[in-house]
């Protein structure tokens, strides 16, 4: 038995267009868009009467795949639960970036929440946490050369 790679990361959102725009603004590209419903999907996700719309976004080199999903039905009755960097469970996605300063400036200018100013971790990385739409947390990491 062998695990080869992570295939994708899925993020459930209410506003698919807003989440898609956020990731496009970061430089990801749309690789696919689709809608799904039916008995097979119900069985796969363990819910009833599932209807979804999805956007697959990736890096230009094709190595990273993020799947944004909105559930038209059934809906999550709890809604968006605001999380923080120390909330238990899967919490954030880290992107290796170049020129973190210009990315953070662009995000600030577009009204995105920056957790802190860019911090240098020892002599290896510049790091910054950013909150996207619907509570999505991203870490930006620029390797210091």
The owner of tokens 């968006």 is 80
User: Would you write out the chain's pLDDT as a tens digit for each of its 145 residues?
Assistant: 877 777 788 999 999 999 999 999 988 999 999 999 999 988 888 889 999 999 999 988 877 789 999 999 988 877 777 777 788 777 889 999 999 999 999 999 988 888 888 999 999 999 999 988 888 889 999 999 8
Determine the CATH number of domain 9-73: 3.10.180.10
Rounded to whole angstroms, the Cα distance separating 95 from 85 reads 16
The confidence score (pLDDT) of residue 31 equals: 94
What pLDDT shows up at residue 6? 78
pTM listed for this prediction: 0.85
Gap between the Cα atoms of 36 and 28, Å rounded = 23
What pLDDT shows up at residue 18? 95
| Residues 37 and 60: beta-carbon distance below 8 Å | no
Pairing outcome for strands 137-143 and 119-121: unpaired
Architecture of domain 93-143: 2-Layer Sandwich (3.30)
pLDDT at 61: 80
- Domain residue extents for the chain: 9-73, 93-143
């Amino acid at each position: 038995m062998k695990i080869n790679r992570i295939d994708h990361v899925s993020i459930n959102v209410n506003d698919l267009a807003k989440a898609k725009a956020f990731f496009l603004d970061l430089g990801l590209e749309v690789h696919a868009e689709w809608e799904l419903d039916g008995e097979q999907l119900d069985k796969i996700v363990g819910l009833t009467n599932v209807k979804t719309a999805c956007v697959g976004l990736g890096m230009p080199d094709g190595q990273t795949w993020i799947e944004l999903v909105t559930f038209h039905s059934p809906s999550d009755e709890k809604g968006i639960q605001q999380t923080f960097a120390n909330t238990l469970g899967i919490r954030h996605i880290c992107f290796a970036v170049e020129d973190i300063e210009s990315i953070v400036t662009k995000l600030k200018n577009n009204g995105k929440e920056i957790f802190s100013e860019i911090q240098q971790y020892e002599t290896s990385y510049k790091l910054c946490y950013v909150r996207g739409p619907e509570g999505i947390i991203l870490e930006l990491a620029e390797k210091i050369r």
